[in-house]
Chain A
């Protein structure tokens, strides 16, 4: 089982360049998320999606855009990369939540992005 797959795994960008991170899940999950992980900051939510065609902002959405054109894919775009966006990016997916409960989130392997 592939689970959640992120591409690429590593990338170095120059300031001002653009790129798209791809997240694909084969578990038919409704919900998908993009997090960034920085030392001492934990995981911070960038954007998330509760279904195909819908997206919403998380805690730190500035400088990022997302799209969920297909249920299994969630794309994270950086239009003009900045050094502050150097981070490890994790995609996750989960089944729909029930009432006050959250469901288990399954994470991809991460993308290590460096902006110079």
Chain B
């Protein structure tokens, strides 16, 4: 299994509080991603990173920020948690594009976040 660790695995928080989720990799992959998974929506990209301090928005980035100060760590922050952010969050890593082909992503085990 790819070396990806998400923490915490479960969290319950109150509306309006900030929350930070951590993703740690030991594979030295260039790309790191945060997705959220909700029933009927599949996985939707929140933010991704293509290098240290290099990040970009995904399709559902409102209310979220990210930081990557080291190759191995990618943090997702909910600035002021809302009930609509109750979800399962997955971190993923990828080597990106190699030659003429894209490479697969490897996923962490997920973080179940409940905002009450």
A binds B: no
**Chain B residues within 8 Å of A, Cβ to Cβ:** none
**Chain A residues within 8 Å of B, Cβ to Cβ:** none
